[in-house]
Amino acid sequence: MMEAAREPGCGGARAAGRGLVGGAVSLVLLWMLPPAHGQAVEFDARERKAIARLSPLPPPPPSATNRFADDPAAARFGQALFFDPRLSVGERVSCATCHDPALAFTDGKPLAVGLETGTRNTPTLYNGGHQRWYFWDGRCDTLWSQTLGPLERDVEMGSTRVGLLHRIAGDAGHRAAYESIFGPLPATDELPPHATPKTTNPYWLAAWEHLPAERRDAINRFFANIGKALAAYLRKLNTPPAPFDTFATGLRDGDPDKLTALSPAAQRGLKLFIGRGNCRLCHNGPNFSDGEFHSIFVPPREGLAPDAGRYVGLARLKSDPFNAAGAYSDAPDGAEAKLLGFVANRTENYGTYKTPSLRNVARTAPYMHQGQFESLERVVHYYSTLEGAVQAGHHAQETLLVPLNLTEQEQADLIAFLRSLNSPDVDEALRK
Ligand code: HEC
Ligand code: HEC
């Protein structure tokens, strides 16, 4: 992969100068187009192609496992659930506690704090409909099944699927919304206040195991529907075009006015991003993520146990009754479900995490799966030096990264480019 980092013509004017010496010049010169007004940096044909792959961001692909994915009533219900703290035990924590619209749907904290402090950093929810795997470790394969986790996790909202059923059944508004979309709620008579198979509470677990199989199935279906409504809402949180998108359009259409959307520094940063920095190797496609799992060897946060990442995530996904191939999926034989059959767990997955999207990244500090880095400056410094990098397991892992040895100017340019991925907020109506 080191060759890729040195592709001719991908390293900016200075790299082109080096290319002169290195002899890969003629092609580079052939490709160079005179800079238009607003364009501070030249981009050759290969670079233009790379930039075109990063923009525009299309609407999210259809989600066959969720029949309600694009149902407006389900999205409205999901939005009401998202902002409702009464879904949590103690009625204090809603999804928006950690995914605050004012902070690009994050919490601004290194580690999430719900009922207790968790062990991972809260990712943004923007463009969630574009992802193939969810969570840092990919332990869910659909957006709707992802949303079920926090409702029951004791450090987050700490409720149970039966507790949630009582809550929805007891609230006239939620009840009417649910039943108009999904049909009658399961009966609540003689149900204990709480029960779930996914808990550390032995009473709630025993209560679940005492329920007849048909009731458990009906409650699971209800629970999945709650996730499908939440997902219908989340699928609307797509970022409007960022300055970078305007620039990319300008480059494609030869529109000089649009090229002024990026400062000269951001344009140099873009050149680094797709060239010598090799960032697009993983942060590729219009959501700036290949959707896959990699280790970039970030040292763990002090005081936290080693995190196995994808290795444990994939094992959990395969045994999750709410996965794309399961009984509650609306397309258990569809493409999303088949994908699950193709991925095999390997020891190299140990300590790998999903490549995060970089859209709006300047608004989602701190960074990395445990919030290890407080600023973009720190992130870029890390990629430049790989200072403190650790091998996550004892296993041979991909070594796609080399220290980039960026100058101060190059680091500032790269950050200017990352900042150009900030979009205006989504509609106010979706933020409350
Ligand atoms: C206590 C804080 C907290 C609460 C409450 C919370 N989340 Fe999260 N959320 C997180 C953290 C932390 C992660 C990453 C966890 C991981 O990867 O292990 C996450 C991950 C996600 C993701 C995956 C994003 C991705 O890129 O993979 C989605 C979607 C999501 N949450 C939606 C929700 C919804 C919907 C709710 C309410 C039902 C909710 N969250 C409640 C902290 C929270
Ligand atoms: C080998 C794949 C790969 C390459 C190459 C790569 N990244 Fe990343 N990037 C990742 C992964 C994986 C993470 C999350 C790692 C973690 O949490 O441990 C990440 C995290 C980030 C983050 C933090 C995002 C967040 O929300 O926490 C930023 C910013 C970032 N990368 C920018 C870059 C830039 C700039 C480059 C090029 C200099 C680059 N990356 C190159 C895979 C890569």
Least confident stretch, 69-73, 396-400, 421-425: 396-400
CATH topology of domain 72-234: Cytochrome Bc1 Complex; Chain D, domain 2 (1.10.760)
pLDDT at 61: 96
Q: 239, 423 in Cβ contact below 8 A?
A: yes
Residue of 7, 103, 283 to mutate, ligand 2, most atoms within 8 A of C-beta? 283
* The domains spanning 31-57+243-309+350-430 and 72-234 adopt the same CATH topology: yes
Report the separation in Å between the CA atom of 354 and the middle of ligand 2, taken as the mean of its atom positions. Answer: 9
Domain 31-57+243-309+350-430: homologous superfamily in CATH: Cytochrome c-like domain (1.10.760.10)
Closest atom of ligand 1 to 115 CA is 1
Mean pLDDT for the stretch of residues 285-292 = 96
Express each pLDDT in 45-57 by its tens digit: 999 999 999 999 9
The model's pTM is 0.91
* Residues 6 or more apart in contact with residue 324 via CB below 8 angstroms: 65, 141, 142, 145, 331, 332, 334, 336, 337, 339, 340
Check if the beta carbon of residue 96 is closer than 8 Å to that of residue 233.
no
- Ligand with an atom nearest the CA of residue 106: 1
For residue 19, pLDDT over 70 is answered with: no
The residue-averaged pLDDT of 107-135 equals: 95
Tokens of 162: 């039966």
Residue nearest to atom 20 of ligand 1 (CA): 135
Do residues 418 and 376 make contact, with C-beta atoms less than 8 angstroms apart? yes
Q: Is the Cβ–Cβ distance between 73 and 177 less than 8 Å?
A: yes
Kindly give, in sequence order, each residue whose CB lies less than 8 Å from that of residue 272, ignoring residues fewer than 6 positions away: 11, 12, 279, 406, 410, 413, 414, 417
Considering the chain, what is the average pLDDT of its residues? 90
User: Cis peptide leading into 306, omega within 30 of 0?
Assistant: no
Q: Rounded to the nearest whole angstrom, what is the distance from the C-alpha of residue 203 to the centroid of ligand 2?
A: 42
In the prediction, which pLDDT does 26 show? 45
Contact 94, 88 (CB under 8 A): yes
Rounded average pLDDT over 1-24: 37
Q: How far is CA 170 from CA 185, 221, 311, 390, in A?
A: 11, 18, 40, 51
Report the 3 state secondary structure along the chain: CHHHHCCCCCCHHHHHHHHHHHCCHHHHHHHCCCCCCCCCCCCCHHHHHHHHCCCCCCCCCCCCCCCCCCCHHHHHHHHHHHCCHHHCCCCCCCHHHHCEHHHCCECCCCCCECCCECCCCCCCCCCHHHCCCECCCCCECCHHHHHHHHHHCCCCCCCCHHHHHHHHHCCHHHHHHHHHHHCCCCCCCCCCCCCCCCCCCHHHHHHHHHCCHHHHHHHHHHHHHHHHHHHHHHCCCCCCCCHHHHHHHHHHHCCHHHHCCCCHHHHHHHHHHHCCCCHHHCCCCCCCCCCCEECCCCCCCCCCCCCCEHHHHHHHHHCCCCCCCCCCCCCCCCHHHHHHHHCCCCHHHCCEEECCCCCCHHHCCCECCCCCECCHHHHHHHHHHCCCCCCCCCCCCCCCCCCCCCCHHHHHHHHHHHHCCCCCCCCHHHCC
In short, whether 415's Cβ falls inside 6 Å of ligand 2 is no
Residue 282 contacts residue 290 (beta carbons within 8 Å): yes
Closest C-alpha residue for ligand 1 atom 40: 95
| Ligand 2 pocket mutation, candidates 354, 381, 383, criterion most atoms within 8 A of CB | 383
Please report the pLDDT score of residue 36 as a whole number: 58
Does ligand 1 come within 6 angstroms of the Cβ of 63?
Answer: no
Rounded distance, CA 172 to CA 170, Å? 6
- What's the confidence (pLDDT) of residue 154? 87
374-419, pLDDT tens digit by residue?
999 999 999 999 999 987 555 555 567 899 999 999 999 999 999 9
Task: Determine how many CB atoms are found less than 10 A away from the CB of residue 415.
Answer: 20
- For the chain, the domains span 31-57+243-309+350-430, 72-234
Nearest ligand for residue 230 CA: 1
Kindly give the distance from the C-alpha atom of residue 110 to the centroid of ligand 1, in angstroms, as a whole number. 14
User: Is 60 exceeded by the pLDDT of residue 13?
Assistant: no
Please tell me the predicted confidence (pLDDT) of residue 24. Answer: 47
- Give residue for tokens 């995190």: 307
Q: Residue 345 in contact with residue 395, Cβ under 8 Å?
A: no
9: pLDDT confidence band, cut at 50, 70 and 90? very low
Query: ω before 366 within 30° of 0 (cis)?
Result: yes
Q: Which two tokens stand for residue 390?
A: 């650790």
User: 296 in ligand 2 pocket by Cβ < 6 Å?
Assistant: yes
Residue 12 has pLDDT above 80, yes or no: no
- Do the beta carbons of residue 174 and residue 81 sit within 8 Å? yes
Residue in 296, 397, 400 to alter for ligand 2 test, most ligand atoms within 8 A of Cβ? 296
Q: How far apart are CA 305 and CA 226, in angstroms?
A: 32
Predicted pLDDT at 156: 92
pLDDT > 70: percent of the chain: 89
Banded pLDDT at 39 (limits 50, 70, 90): confident
Determine the Cα–Cα distance for residues 73 and 211; give it in Å rounded to an integer. 31
As given in the structure block, the two tokens for residue 182 are: 């999904």
Q: Whose CA is nearest to atom 16 of ligand 1?
A: 135
Band of pLDDT at residue 3, cut at 50, 70 and 90: very low
- Region of poorest pLDDT, from 16-20, 193-197, 294-298: 16-20
Q: Which two structure tokens, joined as six digits, stand for 248?
A: 């990319």
- The protein residue whose alpha carbon is closest to atom 33 in ligand 2 is 279
Residue 8 has pLDDT above 50, yes or no: no
pLDDT exceeds cutoff 80 at 35: no
